[in-house]
Amino acid sequence: DLSRLVLGTARFARAPLDTPTRLFDDWVEAGGNAIDTGRQYGNAEAIVGGWLRGRGRRDDVVIVTKGGHYDVDTGRQRITPDDITADLEESLVQLGVDTVDLYLLHRDDPSKPVGPIVDTLNEHLRAGKIRAFGGSNWTQERFEDARAYAEANGLETFACSSPQLSLAVPSEPPWPGCISIHEPAALEWYAHTQLPVFSWS
């Protein structure tokens, strides 16, 4: 069972590796058991990994991390089998773990066919490097395409979605490529499919 709130670590992106981690201790003591991080968050994964090892908390904390973010400097999209794999392998090293509990693709590239993406994630699932996978900032249409491909090929599909959703309706995306599900059609789709939502902001 996951805590209803997930502790994010984006603010650790530029923090030094010896940053105090009392926040994580307080989070677990307060009943939290899920921590969200990502390759895009600079030193965050390494800081989380150091805390996991130092406190021996790997077995009672759910680790969510993300890969496949576009290159901010060049704009190059990175939702390819090679990029996804490279990011996951680096996350495992930085976190100091053998398995990521929930692996999210941080962005999508709708110009790429969904099949190779689903194939790659299933390879890592079978290898035990991830326990489940999902998409952050993916549209309902792409989730449907992934589900159809997975069903046709006897594979697992996306276990959750991590879109923007807040009480305040955004007037524009906070960052390029962000997907919000505040529109009625999106909310109806999620209510119908019951795809779990890890909303942010």
What's the pLDDT score for residue 148?
A: 98
| Longest CA span, the chain | 48
What is the per-residue pLDDT for 169?
A: 87
Nearest to 78 by CA among 42, 117, 43: 117
**For residues 15-24, average pLDDT:** 95
| pTM > 0.85 | yes
Residue 56 has pLDDT above 90, yes or no: yes
Of 77-81, 113-117, 130-134, 197-201, the one with minimum mean pLDDT is: 197-201
